Amino acid sequence: MAKRPSNQPPPRPSSKPKPPPGVERRQVGGYASRQAERTKNPRRVRGGHRMPSTERASESWAGQRWLRLIESGVEPAIQAEALEYASLGQTRTIGFESGKIVAAVQGRAPKAYKVEIAIEPFSPEMWDTILAAMSDQAKYAAKLLAGELPTNIEELFAPLGVHLYPSELSELTPSCNCDEAKESPETWCKHAACVGLLTADRLAENPWLIFTLRGLDKDELLERLRHSRLLPAAPDGSAPVYAPHVGAVEALAVPPLEDGLEHFWEVRGTLEHLHLTPEKPQVSHPLLRRLGQSPFEGSSFPLVGLLATCYDVISESVLRETAEADQDASESDGFGPDDADDEG
């Protein structure tokens, strides 16, 4: 073995360490100064958003509508890779906002890719028109206010010239900062398709997300619908639900509350001075509509429906008793039904 002369310096260690097994080093633009290490397989993500299969989305009418868009327009090979990413949980974050879906998908590169799928939200004027149509059609309003999204909701939007769900893939605009070869900026890569599949799965779980994407989330939608239903025919946008006539109440002397504590729950003769004319409200069950759906989540007991039935029975009973009392009062004055007609 030849010895190195003592006057020669030892060789310097290489400044380019070899990549670990399974890691690919790429030279961008032919220069080693800009290097990106990529793993052979996608980098594992802990706690990522998973979609084991498309089964849940395909069994839900809401998820199926979105899933069909991806399956009809994205290349099969891209779909297969996207489903693999979704099943592995490669999506670190995903969020739904007005007009877009924003996500971070981890691939083989060190940093996750930024993915966005844009969808055109409805204008404020269009939402006013949609809410007016919902309010006018009781079959939709009742289900929506009960927390149920009708499967035929698109029939409400069709006459207005819009779709709640996109009808073509071209209505969705994907974007991703990965460097995969794309025919155009709108071409779907596996990262964008992965987010598209996850969206179908989320819509199967929560169909109301489509309203958020269109510019109005569930809470605001229901609140505006309740308001619209409570004030259906007022020319100035406001109308009382129940406005009984109370005569001469201002003229009654009101004693201090402390003086009547002993008899607070007793019926006093002064009630005869109140002249009430019970009538059906213009809007059925206004209090229940104001309260919304039952607060007991997961309960199958139809609490709201039971209360509505009780209110109807009580209201009919009061109206019937009032009518009978008026008739008895008329007869006690010496006028029967026939006499009243002759008097005219």
What's the mean pLDDT in 257-276? 69
**Which pLDDT value is given to residue 2?**
54
User: Per residue in 16-75, pLDDT tens?
Assistant: 555 555 545 444 444 333 345 778 888 999 999 999 888 899 899 999 999 999 999 899
Does residue 137 carry a pLDDT above 70?
yes
What's the mean pLDDT in 114-128? 95
Q: How far is Cα 202 from Cα 215, in angstroms, rounded to an integer?
A: 17
38 Cβ contact partners less than 8 Å away, ≥ 6 residues apart: 23, 24, 26, 108, 109
Question: Which pLDDT band, with edges at 50, 70 and 90, does 279 fall under?
Answer: confident
Question: Which pLDDT band, with edges at 50, 70 and 90, does 257 fall under?
Answer: confident
For residue 278, CA distances in Å to 249, 275, 297, 312, 326 come to: 17, 10, 35, 13, 12
Average pLDDT of every residue of the chain: 78
Does residue 171 carry a pLDDT above 70?
yes
Between residues 204 and 322, which one has the greater pLDDT?
A: 204
| Per-domain boundaries in the chain | 37-122+168-214, 123-161+216-234, 294-331
Q: How far is Cα 128 from Cα 198, in angstroms, rounded to an integer?
A: 30
Does residue 268 carry a pLDDT above 70?
no
DSSP code of residue 33 = T
Q: How far is Cα 25 from Cα 19, in angstroms, rounded to an integer?
A: 7
Does residue 341 carry a pLDDT above 90?
no
pTM value is 0.59
pLDDT-above-70 percentage for the chain? 69
What's the mean pLDDT in 306-319? 83
Q: How far is Cα 59 from Cα 57, in angstroms, rounded to an integer?
A: 5
H-run or E-run covering 329: helix 303-332
* CB 36, CB 26: distance < 8 Å: yes
Least trusted range by pLDDT, from 80-84, 205-209, 267-271: 267-271
Highest averaged pLDDT of the listed ranges 6-10, 148-152, 296-300: 148-152
Question: Which pLDDT band, with edges at 50, 70 and 90, does 297 fall under?
Answer: low
Between residues 2 and 321, which one has the greater pLDDT?
A: 321
